[in-house]
A and B are shown apart, each in its own frame.
Chain A
Amino acid sequence: MTLLSTPRSTTKDVAIALQTSKASTRKERLFQLFLLFSTLVGLVILVVLLVDIVVDGFSSLDLGFFTDYTSRRPEDTGIRAGLTGTLSLMVLVALIAFPIGVGSAIYLESFAPRTWFTRFMQLNITNLAGVPSVVYGLLAAALFAYILNFGRTLITGALALVLLILPVIIVAGKESIKAVPPSIYQGAIALGATPWQAVYKQVLPVAMPGILTGTILALSRAIGEAAPILVAGAVFSRRADSEPWNLTEPFAALPVQIFDFVKRPQEAFQVEVAAAGILVMLFVLLLMNSAAIVLRNRYSK
């Protein structure tokens, strides 16, 4: 029965048996070091990436880079088309996605009867989040550009991004509404408010910072996406005489322009100009994320 060495032993033996073994200590340490090292890999790569972009891109950043359209010569090239296009997309996507997203979230969280249909819808939202973004581009290309005949224009691109981030906004909205204490809703109802009034006047204001934060974060994700708008019809540059906010004109966007630069054969485009474009895009994203964080912190009390 004694398969393990059981201590039925004298004091001295016990002291030895309980001693820390060097081999096992080293094994534990190595394991922990391996984990720490693996964790650092991701962080180090992030730093390398950012440093590389700053080093490569900084020299191309001048005023002309912001005011020029694309050119065949790297030194004359700018991101005016992309930057204005991206800003237009941002406004447009926010205007369309926010009301629909918040409406869906309110309905799902506060009013929808818990039936198989709502459960199915929940599951559907989860699964939609995993659909590759390029597929949304395909949807927009076929449905908006051709079937509804919007053409490969700004509105088609914006709608592609709207469909892409709607599930994210709905989930964020649902979470924020769920986090509002039920007593607020019940209190309003007890005072004679209709369910709609209770949600609109009481619950929604409390949940709004959370919803806004979620929306801004989703929006910043959408702005960085190149694949869906590329498929939905974004072009590498826009005609200089059209307005960037014209819904029915072809449009450019920052990520698509960066893609264009990277794919060009000249190294000046591939490395420096692309990096400069990336710097500008990352700066826009940083601004948006900072806004979200400020919003979250201000209202988290």
Chain B
Amino acid sequence: MTETYREINLSSNHRTTEDTMPQVQETVFSLQSVGIKYGDFSAVSNVNMEIYKNQVTAFIGPSGCGKSTLLRTFNRMNDLVLNSKVVGEVAYQGKNIYDQDVDPVEVRRRIGMVFQQPNPFPKSIYDNIAFGPRNHGVKEGIDDIVENSLRNAALWDEVKNKLKSPALSLSGGQQQRLCIARSIAVEPDVILMDEPASALDPIATLKIEHLMRELAAKYTIVVVTHNMQQALRVSDKTAFFNLEVDEEKDTRTGVLVEYGPTTKLFTDPKNEKTSDYIKGKFG
């Protein structure tokens, strides 16, 4: 165990986190009593948390604990699931995005998402990136957007000579970085990542993790991951979710157990469940 802890400290030392640079953190999302229901089934209940600007926030927890479901409320992707209902308040920059007058399409424009499986469009690499801006009415400078987005996603050097070839001809890791670049191209404020590396090999995973750290300078990132080491490597803050089982009512729901700076959560968890989970006792 001590070995691991030393590694953790090493890896977090060079980061500009609240540990080294005390600063006022700007809140991007503020969640109050958020719950998500599918029909009668309550997938997540009573989550209160804040997501801070230009940080990487990781959601960890056993499968089925509702962490991906919660992530999808941040850009109202849940709306697309039949019978789903969000209660409580999800405030983005102070505005509840579930208010009547809010257009989910506008929300998604500002809050991008990268999915578990790379999902490039069956078009060329260039057209994948250009797709978003074009559809938002951008007519000029598309070439620049494509190049910048690909550079920011650390993919430019690998694809600059074959921008016209089909996106599906890229490797899985490249496809995922393409999806990140596609998301960057519409200049979002926040990028949500739903287990972005779970379908990738270790080398591709490292590249994505490295990229996340770089992107945090410009964007706010929330990432769901299965992989605790990954959360340790990339995130500033970590939230641990767990399944709460009510034996009497025979119901189960996802709850937020503990949330705090990543290094603290991993080295000195307050909650016993968290401690058990990071030690690998369940999951």
- Judge if B266 is at the interface, Cβ distance under 8 Å: no
Nearest Cβ in chain A — how far from B182, in angstroms? 14
CA distance A61 to B191 in the complex (A): 71
Is the Cβ of B93 less than 8 Å from the Cβ of A3?
no
CA distance A6 to B148 in the complex (A): 16
Chain A, interface SS category: loop
Is the Cβ of A18 less than 8 Å from the Cβ of B102?
yes
Is the Cβ of A20 less than 8 Å from the Cβ of B110?
no
Query: A3-B141, A6-B189, A15-B95 given as contacts; is B103 within 8 A of A24 (CB)?
Result: yes
Binary A-proximity of B94-121 (CB < 8 A = 1, otherwise 0): 1101000111011100100000000000
Query: A7-B110, A11-B93, A11-B94 given as contacts; is B186 within 8 A of A20 (CB)?
Result: no
Is the Cβ of B103 less than 8 Å from the Cβ of A20?
yes
Please provide the chain A residues from 1 to 33 with a CB less than 8 Å away from any CB of chain B in the complex: 1-4, 6-11, 14-15, 17-21, 24-25
Binary A-proximity of B263-281 (CB < 8 A = 1, otherwise 0): 0000000000000000000
CA distance A21 to B103 in the complex (A): 8
Nearest Cβ in chain A — how far from B89, in angstroms? 14
Is the Cβ of A18 less than 8 Å from the Cβ of B106?
yes
- Judge if B35 is at the interface, Cβ distance under 8 Å: no
Residues of B within 8 A of A9 (CB): 93
Residues of A within 8 A of B103 (CB): 18-21, 24-25
Query: A3-B145, A20-B101 given as contacts; is B138 within 8 A of A14 (CB)?
Result: no
Is the Cβ of A7 less than 8 Å from the Cβ of B105?
no
- Judge if B126 is at the interface, Cβ distance under 8 Å: no
Residues of A within 8 A of B106 (CB): 17-20
Tell me the nearest residue of chain B to A21, going by C-beta: B103
Is the Cβ of A14 less than 8 Å from the Cβ of B95?
yes
- Judge if B259 is at the interface, Cβ distance under 8 Å: no
CA distance A20 to B107 in the complex (A): 10
Query: A24-B103, A24-B105 given as contacts; is B187 within 8 A of A2 (CB)?
Result: yes
Binary B-proximity of A138-156 (CB < 8 A = 1, otherwise 0): 0000000000000000000
CA distance A4 to B136 in the complex (A): 8
Q: Select the residue from A1, A8, A25 with max chain B CB neighbours within 10 A.
A: A1
Residues of B within 8 A of A7 (CB): 93, 110, 189
Residues of A within 8 A of B133 (CB): 3-4
Query: A4-B136, A19-B101, A19-B102 given as contacts; is B92 within 8 A of A14 (CB)?
Result: yes
Tell me the nearest residue of chain B to A20, going by C-beta: B103
CA distance A129 to B13 in the complex (A): 71
CA distance A3 to B187 in the complex (A): 9
CA distance A174 to B225 in the complex (A): 46
Residues of B within 8 A of A19 (CB): 101-103, 106
CA distance A7 to B138 in the complex (A): 17
CA distance A15 to B100 in the complex (A): 12
Residues of A within 8 A of B148 (CB): 1
Nearest Cβ in chain B — how far from A298, in angstroms? 32
CA distance A157 to B144 in the complex (A): 69
CA distance A19 to B101 in the complex (A): 5
Residues of A within 8 A of B95 (CB): 11, 14-15, 18
Nearest Cβ in chain B — how far from A119, in angstroms? 27
Residues of A within 8 A of B102 (CB): 18-20
CA distance A6 to B103 in the complex (A): 16
Question: Which of A1, A3, A15 makes the CB contact (< 8 A) with B138?
Answer: A3
Residues of B within 8 A of A10 (CB): 93
Is the Cβ of B187 less than 8 Å from the Cβ of A4?
yes
CA distance A17 to B102 in the complex (A): 9
Query: A11-B94, A14-B92, A14-B94 given as contacts; is B101 within 8 A of A4 (CB)?
Result: no
Residues of A within 8 A of B93 (CB): 7, 9-11, 14
Residues of B within 8 A of A8 (CB): 189
Given contacts A2-B187, A3-B138, 8 further A-B contacts (CB under 8 A): A3-B133, A3-B145, A4-B138, A4-B187, A7-B93, A14-B95, A17-B106, A20-B103
- Closest 4 A-B residue pairs measured CB to CB? A11-B94, A20-B103, A14-B93, A15-B95
Residues of B within 8 A of A (CB): 92-95, 97, 101-103, 105-107, 110, 133, 136, 138, 141, 144-145, 148, 186-187, 189
17 A-B contacts (beta carbon < 8 Å): A1-B148, A2-B187, A3-B133, A4-B186, A6-B189, A7-B93, A10-B93, A14-B92, A15-B94, A17-B106, A17-B110, A18-B95, A18-B97, A18-B103, A19-B106, A20-B102, A24-B103
